[in-house]
């Protein structure tokens, strides 16, 4: 009982504070934001962060004993857009939009999931030493509706994860994921389809390239 009261009390306290914090740092926030502590949020120059309705953001191990190691990180670099849909749940994830990130409705991002849209450093060692950001490869990432990223997953630049797909815990995703499948491993590969009766609508994996 006391635990439930504490959860409700901290959510009532931090949700309006969190909304103010996110707004001050350049984000637009929909209705029904759920927070019990503050994430890390930064928009740089013309970067933009858009957060939909009824989004839940967890930031501590107390809030999610699945293993949150750090608070959620929301970053939109110059010219990039980080867009989070409605009814999304995020647990200590890193969403670093050096190129744009789009997260669909009802997605779940498990503890410490990371989405990176940049290589951060050039492949050429000379260019790395020069810290030449213009030589660093970047590409947008898209999570379609109802995607579930398991704990400690890593989504790399240029990847689209299809609707209703599940990325297994600890996976590293380096290429597009078809809709309606479970993927896992490093690099991630398709393990099996999700039974169609479990999907909210029909998904056509044949529209995607083979695994």
Six-digit token string for 158: 């240029």
Please, which residues bridge with residue 13 across strands?
Answer: none
Calpha distance 40→137 (Å, rounded): 25
Calpha distance 67→182 (Å, rounded): 22
Choose the catalytic residue: 25, 50, 70, 121. Answer: 121
24 neighbors 38 (Cβ within 8 angstroms): no
C-alpha separations of 54 from 19, 32, 38, 89, 185 in Å: 12, 4, 16, 9, 31
- Whether 25 sits among the annotated catalytic residues: the reply is no
Six-digit token string for 64: 């999610």
Q: Which residues are catalytic?
A: 121
């Amino acid at each position: 009982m006391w635990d439930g009261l504490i959860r409700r009390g901290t959510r009532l306290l931090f949700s309006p504070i969190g909304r103010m914090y996110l707004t001050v740092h350049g984000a637009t926030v929909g209705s029904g934001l759920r927070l019990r502590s503050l994430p890390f949020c930064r928009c740089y120059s013309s970067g933009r962060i858009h957060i939909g309705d009824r989004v839940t953001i967890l930031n501590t191990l107390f809030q999610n004993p699945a293993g949150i190691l750090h608070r959620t990180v929301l970053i939109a670099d110059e010219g990039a857009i980080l867009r989070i849909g409605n009814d999304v749940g995020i647990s200590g994830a890193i969403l670093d939009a050096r190129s744009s990130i789009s997260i669909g409705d009802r997605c779940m991002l498990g503890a410490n999931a990371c989405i990176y849209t940049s290589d951060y450093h050039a492949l050429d060692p000379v260019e790395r030493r020069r810290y030449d950001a213009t030589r660093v490869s970047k590409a947008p990432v898209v999570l379609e509706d109802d995607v579930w990223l398991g704990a400690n997953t890593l989504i790399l630049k240029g990847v689209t994860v299809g609707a209703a797909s599940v990325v297994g815990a600890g996976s590293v995703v380096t290429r597009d994921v078809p809709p309606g499948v479970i993927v896992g491993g490093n690099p991630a590969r398709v393990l099996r389809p999700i039974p169609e009766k479990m999907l909210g609508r029909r998904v056509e994996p044949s529209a995607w390239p083979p695994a």
